[in-house]
C-alpha cells in the first residue's frame, strides 16, 4: 500500500520491476488470453430453457414494489459517533398508469408525482451505530428498543408474528425441536418462543424479551458499538416484512393475489439471523400455491454475480420471452466459482434464479419463488412466472440499464442520498446526539 496523506506527495511504484514480469513467456501468454474478448471455448454452456409468449395478456392489474435505502452519518466533530438512517417504501400503482408512463417518457415530473401521490407507504427508521444511546442503555440495548418500536409503529409486528408462528396453520406444523428458538440476551440459554406472544421472559434468568429480538439485529460485537450491518439487517427485515405484509393481508383473496405483481428490489434472500424467516416464507408461499392462490412475486437483481454472468452470455437469450433456468449446481460452480459439496443446503434464499429477456435491450436477473428449496428447479416449479414476465415486459424503462418503471419510482421514493440531503441528516443526527447521549465512563 502506497503512502498518501494531505500535504505530501503520493508514493510512486517502481515501473522497472515490471520488465522481468512481462518478459516471461508464460506470463505473456496468460496476459494475451486475459485480453482476448472472444467467448471462451471451455466456458459454461448456456442455452435457453424455454420461452414465454409475451403477446398473451398477463392478467396483472396492479403492481406493488418494495425498495429500501440507507445511509450512515458520522458526527463530523466526533468520528466515533455514527447513526444510520433507513427508509423502506412500498409503492402501489395500477398497470394502466404504468403503461401511460411508458408511452410518455417525457412526462412532467410534477404529473408523475401526482400520479403516485398517496400510493407510497414509507417505513423510516434511525438507529445508532457507535457512541450514541438512550440514557442508561448500551448501544445494543438501544438498537433492540428501536427495532421493537419500529416494528410496532409500522404495523409490521403482525406480519413478523404471522411468519414466526406460522399463522396459516391452525396448530404447529413442525416438530417441537424445530420450533422457533433463540438465545437469551441475558444468560445465553435457549428460549423456545411461546406461540403468538410478542413479549416473553427467559425461564432461566427472567430477562425480558420481545419478538423483535428473534431477528438479532445489532447484537453482534461489544455492547457499546455496532457495525453498519445492523442498518442493512434492519432494512432487509423491513423490506421483506413489507412484502410479506401484503401476502398476509390478501392471502384469502384469490382475485387480488391473481391480479397483483409483487416486485422486490434485490434478490429474495435473508442472511445471518434473518434467515430464520426463510423457511416460514417458503412454506407460506407453498401454502398459497396449494390453496390455489399462487402469488406473482419476483426479486430483481440489478447487480451481483448472476446479473454479470447473464450480461456476458446475453447472446444465448435472443428473443423477448426467452429465459434460462439454471440448476443450483450451475449457479454455485459456474456463476460464483465455488464448489457444491454433497448435502448442500441453501438456508438464505426463497427464490430460484432465472435469467429472462423481456425486451430487445432488457435482460433481467430474477428470483422467482418455488416454495420448498429445489436444487434442480423446473419451469413448472416457478410460481406465477409467466404472468410476472408478461407484465414486466410492459414496464421497461430506458432511464438505466435493464430498468423497470416501478423500480425506478420505488427507488426514488426510498433512496436516501448522501449528498445533498446527507447534510440535512447530519444536522438531524447531531440534534439527536445532543438530546439522547450522556457521558459514559
pLDDT value for 121: 87
Question: Among 261, 359, 354, 264, which Cα is nearest to 309's?
Answer: 354
Inter-residue contact 73 to 425 (CB < 8 Å): yes
Say yes or no to pLDDT of 395 above 80: yes
- The strand pair at 260-265 and 62-74 is best described as parallel
Average pLDDT value for residue range 31-45: 64
Rounded to two decimals, the pTM is 0.85
Q: Could you report the per-residue pLDDT of 242-269, keeping only the tens digit for each?
A: 999 999 999 999 999 999 999 999 999 9
Q: At 233, list the grid cell.
A: 439487517
pLDDT value for 35: 67
Residue 70, Cβ neighbours under 10 Å: how many?
20
How far, in Å, CA of 80 to CA of 311, rounded? 41
Percent of the chain having pLDDT more than 70?
82
Q: What is the helix (H) or strand (E) element at residue 323, kind and residue range? A: strand 322-324
Query: Lowest mean pLDDT: which of 25-39, 159-173, 318-332?
Result: 25-39
Q: What is the helix (H) or strand (E) element at residue 434, kind and residue range? A: helix 421-436
How far, in Å, CA of 305 to CA of 312, rounded? 11
Q: What is the helix (H) or strand (E) element at residue 410, kind and residue range? A: helix 405-414
Whole-Å CA distances, 193 to 101, 230, 245, 337:
48, 23, 21, 39
How far, in Å, CA of 204 to CA of 201, rounded? 9
pLDDT value for 83: 84
Amino acid at each position: 500500500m502506497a503512502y498518501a496523506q494531505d500535504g505530501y506527495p503520493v508514493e510512486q511504484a517502481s515501473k522497472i520491476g515490471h520488465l522481468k514480469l512481462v518478459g516471461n513467456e508464460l506470463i505473456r501468454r496468460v496476459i494475451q488470453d486475459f485480453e482476448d474478448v472472444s467467448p471462451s471455448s471451455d466456458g459454461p454452456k448456456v442455452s435457453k430453457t424455454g420461452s414465454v409468449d409475451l403477446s398473451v395478456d398477463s392478467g396483472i392489474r396492479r403492481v406493488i414494489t418494495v425498495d429500501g435505502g440507507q445511509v450512515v452519518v458520522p458526527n463530523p466533530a466526533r468520528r466515533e459517533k455514527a447513526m444510520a438512517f433507513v427508509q423502506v417504501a412500498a409503492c402501489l400503482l395500477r398497470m394502466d398508469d404504468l403503461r401511460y408512463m411508458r408511452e410518455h417518457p417525457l412526462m412532467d415530473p410534477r404529473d408523475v408525482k401526482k400520479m403516485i401521490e398517496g400510493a407510497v407507504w414509507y417505513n423510516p427508521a434511525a438507529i445508532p451505530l457507535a457512541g450514541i444511546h438512550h440514557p442508561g442503555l448500551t448501544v445494543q440495548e438501544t438498537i433492540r428498543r428501536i427495532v421493537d418500536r419500529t416494528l410496532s409503529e409500522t404495523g409490521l409486528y403482525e406480519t413478523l408474528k404471522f411468519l414466526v408462528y406460522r399463522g396459516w396453520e391452525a396448530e404447529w406444523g413442525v416438530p417441537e425441536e424445530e420450533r422457533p428458538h433463540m438465545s437469551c440476551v441475558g444468560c445465553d440459554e435457549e428460549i423456545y418462543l411461546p406461540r403468538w406472544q410478542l413479549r416473553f421472559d427467559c425461564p432461566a434468568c427472567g430477562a425480558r424479551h420481545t419478538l423483535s429480538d428473534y431477528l438479532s439485529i445489532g447484537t453482534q460485537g461489544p455492547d457499546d458499538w455496532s457495525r453498519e450491518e445492523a442498518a442493512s439487517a434492519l432494512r432487509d427485515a423491513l423490506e421483506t416484512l413489507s412484502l410479506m405484509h401484503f401476502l398476509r393481508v390478501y392471502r384469502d383473496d384469490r382475485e387480488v393475489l391473481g391480479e397483483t405483481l409483487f416486485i422486490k428490489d434485490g434478490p429474495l434472500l435473508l442472511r445471518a439471523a434473518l434467515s430464520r424467516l426463510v423457511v416460514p416464507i417458503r412454506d407460506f408461499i407453498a401454502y398459497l400455491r396449494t390453496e390455489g392462490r399462487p402469488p406473482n412475486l419476483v426479486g430483481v437483481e440489478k447487480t451481483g454475480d448472476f446479473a454479470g454472468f447473464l450480461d456476458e452470455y446475453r447472446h444465448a437469450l435472443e428473443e423477448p420471452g426467452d429465459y434460462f433456468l439454471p440448476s443450483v449446481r450451475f449457479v454455485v460452480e459456474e456463476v460464483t466459482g465455488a464448489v457444491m459439496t454433497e448435502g448442500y443446503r441453501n438456508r438464505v434464499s426463497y427464490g430460484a434464479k432465472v435469467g429472462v429477456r423481456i425486451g430487445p435491450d432488457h435482460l433481467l436477473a430474477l428470483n422467482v419463488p418455488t416454495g420448498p428449496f429445489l436444487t434442480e428447479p423446473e419451469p413448472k416449479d416457478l410460481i406465477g412466472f409467466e404472468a410476472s414476465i408478461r407484465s414486466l415486459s410492459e414496464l421497461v424503462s430506458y432511464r438505466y440499464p435493464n430498468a423497470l418503471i416501478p423500480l425506478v419510482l420505488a427507488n426514488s421514493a426510498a433512496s436516501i442520498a448522501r449528498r445533498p440531503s446527507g447534510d440535512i441528516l447530519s444536522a438531524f443526527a447531531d440534534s439527536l446526539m445532543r438530546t439522547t447521549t450522556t457521558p459514559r465512563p
